[in-house]
Structure formats: C-alpha cells, structure tokens
Structure 1
C-alpha cells in the first residue's frame, strides 16, 4: 500500500475550519498543534493518565485486535485516528501492518446494493488503490472505522448471514458485521471510534474511554494556539472560570472554538464573554454577519434551525435529510448550510444529510428560536419539560438570553426577541428557584446558582435569594464552575451567614481562589470533613485576613502541621472568634504557630477546639505561653484526647493564675491528668486571679484521692467554678462524700456536677439527696447515671426533687437499675417540683406497666420539657401511647 499517497490524502483533506466544527484534523496535525487527548485506564491516577495514542498502540500490541474508542463528541477521537494513520504512513508506528484502511460510517451509509470487500476497498476507499489488494495476510491489515454511532444498520451478527470470502458480494452492512465479528478477513485488526451507544454490546476487544483534555493538555493547547504566553494564560483562566460546565472544556473542539473567539476579541481589545450564552451569541452572530442577509431572512433562518434542533433533541436524531430540512423551512438556506451545520454528502444529492456540529450549538439555537418565535403558544415550563433529559444546557441558555445585555447583539441581526416569552421564563425561574431554595437538594441549588450566574443580573440574585432561602446546606465536592456560580451569588448578596463546604473532599487551589471573595464575605465557614490543598489553605488565609469571618470549622479536615502553618498568617490578622481544629492531624509542631496566632495584636479568638490532635505535654506547655499574654483573648479551650498527662498541669495551672488568662471554660476529657494533675489545677481554682468557671475532667484517670484537693478548692472563697464534670472516673464512695461536703458550703458556686459512672454507692446517693434539700446547695444539673444503686438509691433523689429547697432543673439517672417500683416516687417528684425540666431515664428496666403514669405526669407538668425513656423494656404495644406526649423520647 502506498504510504505516500495516504499521507498526501490526509494532508489535503477537504473541508473548511469553522467556529462550530473546529479546525480540520489535517491542519491541527500538520501545524504541530496536536495535543493527544487523555484516556481513562484502570489503576492509574489523574496525574498518570495515558494519552489516547498510547492506549491505542498498547491495545493493538496485545492479542486482542479490536480497539473501540468511546467518548462524547468533540473529544478528539477522529483527529486521533487520523494521527494514527499519519504516523503509520510516516513509518513512525504500527509498522507491523502493511496496509491501513480508513472508513467513515456516515459515508458507508450511502452505499447501496451488493459488493465485495475487494470492491469496497478498491472503489470506495480514499486514496484509491492502484495495486492488487494485500489481503492474503489479514494479520498485516488494520481497519480504522470512524463515526460508528452514525451507522444506520444493525451490527447484531444474528440478523446477518456473515460472509468469509473477500471476493463475495454482499450488502455493506453484512460486510461490516462480518469484518467486526471476525468471519471476514479473520486476524485483521480494527480501531473503531463511537459515542456511547447501544451498538457497543456487539463489539468485542478493548474499550478505551476517551477523556479529552484535562488541565495540563488545555494549558499546552492554549500555549500553542496563542503566540503570547500572557494571552494564552488569560484566555485559559477566563474559559475555566466562566465556561467550564461539567466536561465541555475537556473537548479539544470546544477549546479551539474558545481560542478562536477569544483571540479575535483580545486582538480587538474587546471584553471576553462572561457566560456560555455570550460566547455562543458571538459564534452565531459571526456567520450571520458574514452572509449579510436582511433581518427577516436571518430570523427565518434561525427559526428553521430551531425547528431542526427541536426535532434532533426530541427524537434523538444526530442528522436530518434534505426532505426533513425542507419541512423545517430550511430549503432556501441550503446553499449556506455549511456555515451553521455539518453537511455530509453533495448538496445536490438526495442522500445528503445535515447535523449540528455540537450538542451545545443545537441547544443554543433551540433557546434562541424559542425566545425569538412570536407565534408559538408553548410556555417555558412545557418546553423545558418536553426536552428534559435530552437538553442539558437549555435552561442555562434561556437564562443568559433572557437578559437584554446578552441578547442585544443578536437582536441587531434578528429583530426583537419575544418579550412575553422572556417574561414567562423569568416567572418560571423565580417560582422554581423559590421551591428549590426551600429544599435540601444540593444539585438543584447548584443549578439555581448556575442559572443566576448565566443571567449576570445582580438585582435578580437579590430578588430570588431572599432571607427565607435555605442556602446553608452543604456544597461539598464542588466543580470549578460550581465555585464560580456560588461565588457570584454570594458576592451579589454582599455577605453570607454561613458558607457550608462540608465534605469538600478535594478543595484545590484554583477552586479556593475562585471562592475566596465568597469566603471573605461569610460570617461562618464550614470545611469540616474536607481536604484542602496547600494552595487552598493559602487562599483561605487570604480570605480570612480581609474578611468578615468570625467562625471557622475545619474539624476532621486532614489539615496537618504544614498546611496549618500556611493558614496561620490569615488567622493572625482576622476577625475570627471561634476556630475548630478537632481531629486535624496537628502535632506539637503546630503549637508555636498557635501561640503566634493567639498572641497577635489583632487576635480576637475566644474559642479554640483542639481536641484529638497529638499535641502532647510539650505542645500544650508551649500553648500555655499564650495564656500569659495580654493579647490572648481565649475564653474557651477544648483539648480532649490530646495525649496530655500530669506533667503539663503545673505549667497550665500557673498560666490560669497568671492574671492575664481569660479562660473561662476548659475541657480536658480523655487525657491522663491523674490525681496529681488535679492537685496542680486546684491551686489555680483557689487563686483570686483565676477566672475558670467550667472544668471537664471526664475519663481523666482520677481516683478518690483527688477529691480532698477538689474539696479544698471548692471550699475556697475565690473559687468561681460553676460546672465540674468528673464522670467516668473511679472516685468511689469516700471521694464522692468529700465532694458533697464542699457542696454544702454556703456560696459554693457549683451549679452543674457530672458524676456519671464514678462507682457511687447508696450512702453517696443518700448524701446527694440530703445535700439537694439543704437549702445551701446551688446544683441545677446532676449527672448521676451509670452508678448501679437501683430504686432504693435513686429514691433519695426523688425525695430531694420533691423538696421545695431543691433547685434541680436537669437530672440524669441513666442505667442506674430503675424498675417500675420507682415510678410512684418519680411521678410524685415531678408533680411536686417547680424547677425540674429534663429527666434522663434511658437504659433502665421500666416496662409497659409504667407508661400510663409517665405519660400522664408529663402531660400534666407545666415545667417538664423532656423525659428520655429510650432503651427500657417497652414493647411496641405502648408506642402509640408514648406518641401522645411529644415531650417523651423513646
């Protein structure tokens, strides 16, 4: 086979480059602008995706000789096939094949009658062959088939009588089926390009998913298109931030269209389009201006294109015949059809077919014609519902085109748009957006934001996103275009109560840069369960330093020390009051940075959540330095499960009584503080300069030995502690009784005491009951659950609750071994109490017999707000009765 003839034919391919159809493959390849599209492959990362060329060559080198390229339009499948053939013709690849035959299925569709494979190749392959066919060695033959999705015949082998002789005459559909199913020219290799269609099930071999251009390929393409690197960068960034809906920017054809439009606008000093609609206005206006028809003629042309677009969308037809085009009113415009459509075949031939170059253009023309049509009675909602599922961007185009500033360039060519249709669209948009923004569907919220971004109308944003809109739902896992749309909406509003980015699993620097203005306008930013890149942390820092944010939630965000250091400059100079760093993989290394944040001149940080980070004693002691600074405003520190021990408590205690510390609330839960640690803390609790009011030592490895120190502290006139949680520590009877002595002191400030699972005994419950009735005790909340004292022990508390001197508002006796025998005393206590509001009774042994009395007493009580009866011994028989009282949880 003459490779030189093949090469010459490809380089001289007919056709013209068009904004809609893209640049000719031969031109792209010969001008060294070809960038291989990427393809998906199992077990590789995005940074290691193979090029389409590599995937094809790799598959052809295997034993399986059929390779199917699958992907949407415009991703570069056809160009890749031509590049493959050119590389073979230039002896660069595939030299194990002596001949390569290239066919397009849309051309095979026009071949009627019976002919042999030899005749098909001799007379219908281009370039034609002058030598005998080299078909004796099928393993040296490669067939390249393009546009399989446009093939009008069936590939199912069961509907054909497959042939095996290359000289045997048969229908073209039979020849194709016989080739692809291996009965004809067995051993030959095939590369087939197709969109996702049902015919794929009839193709064996290797399927290769074509991804097109990802970011690196787009950068390379733009840099080759524009001679000026600055112009290339400007064009690429603008495209990705205004036009990158889903996967359209992965299309090499779309990139070529954008580059062509942008280059023209940049060269003439004009503004680049802000929306997808504005881009397509430019694309449609160009051929309309070129052909210089009058307004009425242009209008009829676009309306005819709109009828064709509707037909293709509803019937899922990729192409239309000449007869169909005439029915759309396009007959008088056929001679200029190639300016707007792809034309396959000779215009004079009845077999000539017409199709849109892209789905995007088809939908844009449909939107334009709908807003242009002055005759239609079809409403917007009806039209959108009719095209639902087949038109992906129709509502976006309608949103853009409904704004005068965007459709005005077309009105100068087509005449006035139908104001009634525009009004109808805006009414639909407002009502549907109101319903959407009352719901919790993230994707629908995004769509609303995209529509608003397409409209580019600030007053419309404020009209639609009212105070009743629910825009605090999570917008995690955003695409770049989602970020653009969300940022547009927030900046139009001027401020945001809460920017919820929960579960954003990969916030890139580019996305964060786009969202930075929205971040700076948000009073609260939620990035919990998210993962930020280092670049994203830098943009977040910048947004914080110039913004309104008072609360930042980063818990479980995999931040780490390095990214936290990047974030710190923003934390030093911002309005932040609350910072949540729960489970952020921070270590001692971050503590110096935290100190610099807390002691900065502008620090306003009041609450710091550091729990479950590996801070350790050394890190915590560094952190204590901040508490000595007059610039530190910290009032609440949560540092649960941070590997602290007794060793750091002396330093912490010294900081608490330094006179500079503003700490009111400290949570040291799940650290090995130990009795010696409590002893150190008690020195501060007795000091007049210590401001601590709330101390939680839940599960802190304490025993009764610490209670003498706690008693001494609580007896001190300088102690201001009102909340003390000692739950899940082995205090025992002796230790708890010491605490009770302190609580009897008139003026003891403790109002909430946690003693759950502290190995308490009957004598302790008796003393607690006596204490609550004493008239000197200030306790309003007592957590005494998980101490198995049974009905007898808890009866002391019921008696206390019924006493007029008792101030309890909350009582927790979960899992204390209660039975139905206690219910009479329990109900009497509720009836007698004027203060009790909440009662925790879960995980006990109450049965159905107790339910009527409990429901009645809760219904009759004016002050009781909640009774929790979960995990008792109730059967379903009483659930309806429990439902009668909405204050009971079960």
Structure 2
C-alpha cells in the first residue's frame, strides 16, 4: 500500500510518502551483503532500480569499500555487462574476468580454485546484456575453463553452474527483473535502489552549486515545482536539472519554465551542451544530432552500448569532442581498444527517439514499426528484454502537444523507465496502446516538433510547453 501511494504521488507529497515508509524497509550499504534477520546468507543479491537511480555508482562504492577492508571477501570482480556484449569470441570464465582485471589468467584461476566462497562477483547492468539465441538454448559451461559465447559463460556463473559457492550481486533495471530471476541461482535477495530522498536532493544541490545564493535560488525553484521536485529523486535527472537551472540563473532567465516532462528536461539539457560544448565539433547542429541519433539507434537495435572507433567515426566526425559521448580504453586480452559510449543509456534512448522524429513522416513511421517488430519477434518471448519502451516513451513525449503533458505524461510523470507488468508488449496491454498513440501522432507530426527543430537549428533555445 505504501509503495502504491509513493508511485501515484507527486511533488512534495511524493517525498513525504517515501519518507514515511517504515525504517525497516531501508538498509545501509554495509548490510547489503550480510545474512538476513533469519541468519540466511543469500547466494545472490539483486539490486534493481530504474535508469539513473545509481546502481552502477553503488557497485563502484562497494569496490572502494572492499579495498578499504570493509568487506570480508578475498577478491572482488567487477563484471560490466555492456563490455561482455562487445566480446565476440568464445571465452571461458577465467578469460572473461581477465578482460576487466589487472590479474593474469593464471592468478585468477588460482584464486577461484583456492577459495571460491570468498569471491564476490559484482555483475553490473544485466539489462545491457545481449540476449542472443545462445543465451537461452545453449547448455551453459560446467567449469571455469570451458569456452562458450560470453553471455552463456556469464549465465553459467549466474545459474551457479560454475563456482556455486561464490557470492553474487547483480544490478539491473526493473524492466529486466523477470529475466534475471529465471537465470539466477538461489537463494536470492531482492533490493531496490530508489534514488535520492528529499534530504539527499538538498545535499546534492548544495554540493553541485557550491554557492549559498545559487543553491537557495535553485533549490527553492525546484521545491515550488512538483514535477521537478519529484524528478530530482532520480540522481541522473537531478544532475541534468541542476545543470539546466545553473545555466538559466547565469543567463537571468526563468529557471524552471518549460520543464514539465522528462523529454523537455532532456531537450533543454541537450541545448545547453550543444550551445556551450559543441561549437568546435566541425558539424552543424542538425548533422551532429542526426549522426548521434544514427549511432544511438544502431546500438538500440543491436543491444549494444559500446561502440568501436571505426563505427563511431563513420557516423560522427569528431566523437572525442562530443559532450554526449564518453571515450575510454577497453582491455582486450593482450591489447587495449578505444571505445565509445553515450554518457548514460537514457541518452542513447533519447537520441534514438529524436533521430526517428527528425525523419520525414513515412520514414519515421517505418522506423518505429521496425523497432516494434523486432520487439515482437524476439528469439524467446518468455524472456524478451524490454529494450524499446523508453525510446517509445521519449517519442511520445517529444510529439506531445498537450500543455499539461497529455494523457500518458500525466499517467507516468517523469517516469519513462518505469515499466509495470501490464506494459509488456501483449495484446491489449498499456504498451501497445501507447504504440498505437505514437503511430497516430506520427501520421500527423505535431507543430511543436517542428518548432523544437526550428529553434534547435537556429539559436538552440528549445522549450517544450
């Protein structure tokens, strides 16, 4: 009942309802990996949460705490699913772990054989794993030296077919929780990371602005706007909102005008980065946005969040100068490879939606229907990962002409990533109704979309109202 009230509440009421939950429902990070009240030590902990709620940062904090001797494990392996999805060759568990470790394969093998019960695997971003046909149909390996496709090898670890005595903590978006429960060994423990509390939002604003006057103005603006107040509970959106408000305060403009939906917040943030950090990119704004959109779409359709240099440079002339892309070195056995990713998965989804709407009416509708078709014909409908819902929500948000946010925006204010069981692509479900609404809007592109693009191409001051 309390969770239902939290989901349906807004603004300051949202934070009050969340704060009124029993303190027994909350746990500190140091107790996450300890036995429960019955003394049962779960073999696997699922840390679920919506996009941008801080799952990956929590994993990094655990690694840092372990390095400071706050956990009993002999060794911790940080496994990033987005990197596993980029590995094309068959590999065993020891080789898989060596991709993101300074330990040699021999050292890893010795550790795993010596004391597997003292090993912690932090598997980050299960929802970013590529769900191929092999993932469901191929028998997983039974030892750490048997080679298989990388996602199958990881699945063997998750199922407990390999190193069952080891401890697992797996992070995932809530949209992939049903898949994870079916492939993860037992006993399982479920934990949800829900983002910032009201006090946490206030503390973040203080640290972000580092100026008492700007902090007071910015935080009071947000508290007076129930939509923004609730949105700030999501850390990544809180960061975006702080960035937008800081720029507006510096420019002397209305700090919160036009920020009514998630799409409008992302568009405003997009404009700020384009205006202040993309002037020397060598591409016009329309070309840059379209090229980023093509890259984003390629990743969404192929379940890919990491891109090699060749792929990126084929689409973006100066990826290193783009504020929306992150460049890093990816260890590949005996050498390193330069890779790129979007600054956050939600930006990849946003740029995909924006790219579809930059096309003409016929091509736009064709692309959306192609995406839906891929979703419906997934290799295994029972375990179909909901890859496209966030893209569709962004599309609808960008098309929305209703000043109050429209029917769907009101039903899911600033929560394009919150997918309930009824939102799966099933006949008569909420998601299919949403798709029907998107298709209807695509048949008659809204005037506001043309206005958005016109402003973007000229003076980069975009507002969705």
Classify the TM-score, shorter chain: 0.5 to 0.7
Q: Is contact 2:205-2:242 (8 Å) kept?
A: yes
Residue in 2 that maps onto 1:303 = 290
Structure 2 spans left out of the alignment, 5+ residues: 1-14, 373-388, 404-446
CA displacement 1:257-300 (0-9 Å, x = unmatched): 22233234434544324123266334334245433259973221
- Please identify the structure whose Cα radius of gyration is greater: 1
Q: Report how far residue 367 of structure 1 moved.
A: 4.2
- What's the offset of the Cα at 1:176? 1.9
1:359 equivalent to 2:340? Answer no
**Post-superposition offset of 1:232:** 2.9
SS of aligned partner of 1:224: helix
Task: Identify which of 77, 86, 94 aligns with 1:101.
Answer: 77
The 3 A distance-change label for structure 1 pair 217 and 333 is same
Aligned match of 1:111: 87
1:650 equivalent in structure 2: none
CA change 1:137–1:309 in 2 (3 A) is closer
Runs of 5+ unmatched residues, structure 1:
1-37, 418-452, 456-890
Q: Deviations over 1:298-327 (max 9, x none)?
A: 2212123344556667x584548569967x
SS of 1:292 mapped into structure 2: coil
1:215 aligns with 2:198: yes
Counterpart of 1:125? Answer: 100
Residue 159 (1) aligns with residue 205 (2): no
Aligned equivalent of 1:53:
29
Count of residues in correspondence between the two structures: 369
Encode CA deviations 1:63-82: one digit per residue, 9 max, x unaligned.
Answer: 22211111222110010011
Bigger relative contact order (CA 8 A; separation at least 6): 2
Do 1:68 and 1:207's aligned partners in 2 also have CA atoms closer than 8 Å?
yes
Name the counterpart of 1:339. Answer: 323
Matches within 5 A, 1:22-33: none
Q: CA deviation at 1:99?
A: 1.2
Note the 1:238-249 alignment, pairs <5 A: 238-239=221-222, 242=225, 244=227, 248-249=231-232
Structure 1 residue aligned with 2:127: 149
**1: CA distance, partners of 2:90 / 2:304:** 26
Kindly tell me: are residues 106 and 393 of structure 1, through their superposed partners in 2, closer, same or farther at Cα, counting changes over 3 Å?
closer
* Alignment match of 2:257 (pick from 257, 262, 274): 274
Evaluate the alpha carbon distance shift between residue 212 and residue 239 of structure 1 in structure 2; reply closer, same or farther with a 3 A threshold. same
Q: Contact 1:319/1:356 (CA < 8 Å) preserved in 2?
A: no
From 456, 460, 465, give the equivalent of 1:410. 456
Q: Is the 8 A contact 1:285 1:409 kept in 2?
A: no
The match for 2:233 is 250
Corresponding residue number in structure 2 for 1:78:
56
Higher helix residue share: 2
- Name the CA shift for 1:142/1:216 in 2 (closer, same or farther; >3 Å): same
Change (3 A) 1:56 1:299: same
1:199 to 179, 190, 195: 179
1:367-422 residue CA offsets vs partner (Å, 9 max, x unmatched)? 4873x66xx2449999999989542243443448929997776233579x9xxxxx
The answer for the alignment partner of 2:270 in structure 1 is: 283
Aligned pair 1:184/2:180, yes or no?
no
Aligned residue number for residue 391 of structure 1: 392
Q: 1:345 Cα shift?
A: 6.0
Alpha carbons of structure 1 residues 287 and 296: separation in structure 2 relative to 1, 3 Å: closer
Give the Cα separation in 2 of the matches to 1:272 and 1:391. 28
Query: Would the alpha carbon gap of residues 394 and 48 (structure 1) be closer, same or farther in structure 2, given more than 3 Å must change?
Result: farther
Secondary structure, in 3 states, of the residue corresponding to 1:339?
coil
Return the alpha-carbon distance in structure 1 between the equivalents of residues 161 and 281 of structure 2.
58
Tell me the TM-score normalised to structure 2 length: 0.63
**Counterparts of 2:148 and 2:366 in 1: how far apart (Å)?**
48
Question: Which secondary structure does the structure 2 equivalent of 1:186 belong to?
Answer: coil
Tell me, in whole angstroms, the C-alpha distance in 1 between the residues paired with 2:363 and 2:164: 57
* Secondary structure of 2:232 counterpart: helix
CA distance in 2, matches of 1:316, 1:241: 42
Q: What secondary structure does 1:250 align onto?
A: coil
- Computed over aligned residues only, the root mean square deviation of the Cα atoms, in angstroms, reads 4.6
Partner of 1:646 in structure 2?
none
Deviation at 1:105, TM superposition (A): 1.5
Structure 1 residue 90 displacement after superposition? 0.6
Q: Does the 8 Å contact 1:140/1:188 carry over to 2?
A: yes
User: How has the CA–CA distance of structure 1 residues 113 and 359 changed in structure 2, closer, same or farther, with 3 Å as cutoff?
Assistant: closer
Displacement of 1:366 in angstroms is: 3.6
